[in-house]
Amino acid sequence: MFADIILPLAVPTCYTYSVPDAMIHTIKVGMLVNVPLGKSRHYNGIVLKIHSECKVGINYKPIEKMVLPQPILTENQIHLWQWIAEYYMCKLGDVLKAAIPTALYNAEYKPQSEAWLRLATDEWSKLFGNRKPTDKQKTLLDRLSESNISMAEAQSLVSVAVISGLIKKGAVERYYVDKSRFSYSAPLTELHKLSDAQQIAYNSVSSFFAKDHKPVLLHGITSSGKTEIYVKLIDNVVKNGGQVLYLVPEIALTTQLTERLRAFFGDKMLVYHSKLNEQERAEVYKDILDGSKYSIVLGVRSAVFLPFKNLKLVVVDEQHDASYKQQEPAPRYNAVNCAIMLASMYKANTLLGSATPSIEGYYNAVSGKWHLVELNKRFKDIEPPETIVVDMRAERSKRKVTSMFSWILRDKIIEAVSAGEQVILFHNRRGYSSQVHCEACGWVPMCDSCSVSMTYHKGSNSLECHYCGKRLPMPQKCPVCGGEISAYGYGTEQVESVIHDFLPDARVLRLDLDTTKGKNSYKNILEKFARHEADILLGTQMVSKGLDFEGVSLVGIINADTLLDYPDFRSTEFSYQTLLQVSGRSGRAHKRGEVVFQSSHVEYPIVGQIITSDYKGFYKEQIEVRRLFSYPPFSRVIFISLKSRNINAVQGASKLLVSYLSEQLKGMVLGPEIPPISKIREYNIRRIMVKIPVANSVSAAKIAVIQAIERMNRKYSMVSTIIDVDPI
């Protein structure tokens, strides 16, 4: 008997091992086993297939041992992994690394234990002879004759000294039990009653669910109460013993939603994201694998890899969000795609929600591949926020504005804060100044590993590369000519200091990569803001995503230009989504909110579409652009990036690769191009785009890509390639 094993290596195939006799009856597909590789190495790997095919003349090495007694991968997961490897053109080993928590893979997972106490003997009084137990001792002994208690509870009754005294005496025993890392208890609340509009939307989702398993797109404007609809659908599934996967694009969202969902579902829910430690991640995985009491997983993209048993519903919130796509490293998968695939394997239903669906998603919904349900009213009929567009060019020339705040935004912030309301300010650059230069010679600090200029961070008085994280102290004088250094362009750090200039007492919280490095930092910041212990939440994209604060009456978009100028075929869609989403944070609970939108490009049509929240107008225009240039959904795109420290090699290799690709894929190959950031961490980068019209076979094109790369690598073995299918 032989077994094909998935190893955590970027190798093209699985390796085959022989199954020792002792394991023949116990080995199963999905098990974690330890195998030798090469002369001295050993790896843990997963059994993909057990079979009897072997090639003559090959001496198969035996599997060394079974690392865990039960499989850690279900049949559906194996199918999902294989689908991902094929669709995203990566290795099963890459999927393994993304999917299995490290502690489980290394067999380092340990349940958390809790100390408990019990009576060592029923006849404890004999141990005291003539002397009687003290009152304190008696208290504990009496309690223990009712039932065993945890050490923690015992300590609330008597001191540790009393407890250890009784243990020493042999009257009481300590023992340990496994304790969940996720225990939770608090009273549950009733589900909210849906509004009429929500009920109608809910009914149509339900009837689509009953009809077939096509995904349903819920296009509901911000604050229409999509979450409440999800909750009701989840409740139905849970009551019938099914499992639910609830995906959100970012950890910041899990924080708020956890609170909200816990109130309804209590300890039936687990949360899965990157800020969990390795033991916690492994425990979630194991709990789901054991099919225990948990029925709901709220998680970010990697939650699609959990070993569900009885998955009945997948909810994907903020369906449009680019964070669902993993960029680095492989597998470069899109969790929305995977979730739909996963649901189809389990014959589960899928609900995709968004106020700003992706162009491809909306196209699927209107062309019949998915179903479409719309919800066009805010909860309580509060009107969508009123948007004031400020032309910053005019402001600067006419009204002599020197900071990033127009007079009107400044006044509105002061007004809102003085009225006890809250404000969200969005700016998608972190740091203090985005550009630093020498006034005399024009020197600009560049990262020596990447082709980008460095950003000034005032808090740490350093220059930082936002691509590789390299830091240097901020020089006092120009290192080239000794001239004065000046800084321009601003990030969130500077915005914060300007707010303090005009509102010294305002309580400002900053939410960006720099302030959220700690494990609970997101949670702390968002909870603080929710408790209204701050007036202003200032941040990058993180503040734009699905957050729900009832006290917010004003949203300020400090500089929309950084988004509107971004050069990419998806940029318009991305800007529209981000700006409309951040606007949607205003005026959610009590009264109509306001948005102040600052830009130097007020004439762009997209600005009008954002103000009027005209999604359909925006979609119509964008889908035509896509059709005209044959972009997705009218084609499939694969990006091939070539990387090398040697610039000549990368240039030669990319030209050669284009010529090989063009032989098979006539008219579908574009490039090579020099990307906007052409060097990262010492590696020079070139990019090739393969655009496959929907009428053509994608799998044939993928084979052609792999063959062309292999051919190119024969000449340029040191140039590495990265394949990105459906790039975002």
- Residues found near ligand ADP in the complex (CB under 6 A): 192-195, 198, 220, 222-228, 379, 548, 588-589
Cα-to-chain-centroid distance, residue 641: 23
Residues that bind Zn ion (CB under 5 A): 438, 440-441, 443, 447, 449-450, 465, 467-468, 470, 478, 480-481, 483
Q: Of 319 and 575, which has the nearer Cβ to ligand ADP? A: 319
Q: How many Cβ atoms from other residues are within 10 Å of residue 91's Cβ?
A: 20
Q: Of 230 and 574, which has the nearer Cβ to ligand ADP? A: 230
Pick the closest to residue 336 from 296, 300, 289 (CA basis).
Answer: 300
Which pair of structure tokens corresponds to residue 342?
A: 């996963």
Dihedral of alpha carbons 623, 629, 633, 634, sign: positive
**Separation between Cα atoms, residue 412 and residue 21, nearest integer Å:** 77
What is the smallest separation between the CB atom of 534 and ligand ADP, expressed in angstroms? 19
Q: Of 195 and 559, which has the nearer Cβ to ligand ADP? A: 195
What is the smallest separation between the CB atom of 550 and ligand ADP, expressed in angstroms? 6
HEC letters along 306-359: CCCCCEEEEEECCCCCHHHECCCCCCCCEHHHHHHHHHHHHCCEEEEEECCCCH
Alpha helices by DSSP H, listed for 170-222, are: 196-211
Q: Of 466 and 545, which has the nearer Cβ to ligand ADP? A: 545
CB 599 within 8 A of CB 560: yes
Q: Of 115 and 589, which has the nearer Cβ to ligand ADP? A: 589
What is the smallest separation between the CB atom of 383 and ligand ADP, expressed in angstroms? 14
Pick the closest to residue 662 from 648, 672, 674 (CA basis).
Answer: 672
CB 172 within 8 A of CB 144: yes
What is the smallest separation between the CB atom of 299 and ligand ADP, expressed in angstroms? 17
CB 98 within 8 A of CB 302: yes
* DSSP secondary structure code for residue 453 in this structure: B
What is the smallest separation between the CB atom of 722 and Zn ion, expressed in angstroms? 18
What is the smallest separation between the CB atom of 122 and ligand ADP, expressed in angstroms? 54
Cα-to-chain-centroid distance, residue 132: 61
Q: Of 257 and 390, which has the nearer Cβ to ligand ADP? A: 257
Pick the closest to residue 352 from 319, 325, 311 (CA basis).
Answer: 319
Q: Which helix (H) or strand (E) holds 297?
A: strand 296-299
Q: Of 220 and 431, which has the nearer Cβ to ligand ADP? A: 220
* DSSP secondary structure code for residue 515 in this structure: G
226 binds, among Zn ion, ligand ADP, none (CB under 5 to 8 A by kind): ligand ADP
Q: Of 296 and 478, which has the nearer Cβ to Zn ion? A: 478
What is the smallest separation between the CB atom of 227 and ligand ADP, expressed in angstroms? 3
Q: Of 251 and 685, which has the nearer Cβ to ligand ADP? A: 251
Q: Of 413 and 537, which has the nearer Cβ to ligand ADP? A: 537
Strand partners, 192: none
Helix, strand or coil, per DSSP, at residue 387: strand
What is the smallest separation between the CB atom of 156 and ligand ADP, expressed in angstroms? 36
Q: Which helix (H) or strand (E) holds 272?
A: strand 269-272
228 binds, among ligand ADP, Zn ion, none (CB under 5 to 8 A by kind): ligand ADP
What is the smallest separation between the CB atom of 551 and ligand ADP, expressed in angstroms? 11
* DSSP secondary structure code for residue 382 in this structure: P
Q: Is 137 exposed, middle or buried (0-12, 13-18, 19+ CB in 10 A)?
A: buried
195 binds, among ligand ADP, Zn ion, none (CB under 5 to 8 A by kind): ligand ADP
Position 709: which residue type? Answer: I
Helices first, then strands: H and E counts in the chain: 22, 31
**Separation between Cα atoms, residue 351 and residue 195, nearest integer Å:** 19
**Separation between Cα atoms, residue 322 and residue 523, nearest integer Å:** 22
Position 564: which residue type? Answer: L
478 binds, among Zn ion, ligand ADP, none (CB under 5 to 8 A by kind): Zn ion
374 binds, among Zn ion, ligand ADP, none (CB under 5 to 8 A by kind): none
What is the smallest separation between the CB atom of 228 and ligand ADP, expressed in angstroms? 4
What is the smallest separation between the CB atom of 676 and Zn ion, expressed in angstroms? 14
Q: Of 191 and 498, which has the nearer Cβ to ligand ADP? A: 191
**Separation between Cα atoms, residue 565 and residue 489, nearest integer Å:** 15
CB 312 within 8 A of CB 242: yes
CB 390 within 8 A of CB 596: yes
What is the smallest separation between the CB atom of 226 and ligand ADP, expressed in angstroms? 3
Q: Of 77 and 222, which has the nearer Cβ to ligand ADP? A: 222
Q: Of 403 and 449, which has the nearer Cβ to Zn ion? A: 449
CB 94 within 8 A of CB 329: yes
What is the smallest separation between the CB atom of 463 and Zn ion, expressed in angstroms? 10
What is the smallest separation between the CB atom of 311 and ligand ADP, expressed in angstroms? 22
What is the smallest separation between the CB atom of 325 and Zn ion, expressed in angstroms? 23
End-to-end CA distance of the chain: 44
**Separation between Cα atoms, residue 719 and residue 728, nearest integer Å:** 24
**Separation between Cα atoms, residue 423 and residue 721, nearest integer Å:** 45
Q: Of 224 and 337, which has the nearer Cβ to ligand ADP? A: 224
CB 261 within 8 A of CB 313: no
**Separation between Cα atoms, residue 498 and residue 412, nearest integer Å:** 15
CA angle, 530 then 532 then 538, to 5°: 75
Q: How many Cβ atoms from other residues are within 10 Å of residue 250's Cβ?
A: 22
Q: Of 372 and 656, which has the nearer Cβ to ligand ADP? A: 372
468 binds, among Zn ion, ligand ADP, none (CB under 5 to 8 A by kind): Zn ion
483 binds, among Zn ion, ligand ADP, none (CB under 5 to 8 A by kind): Zn ion
246 binds, among Zn ion, ligand ADP, none (CB under 5 to 8 A by kind): none
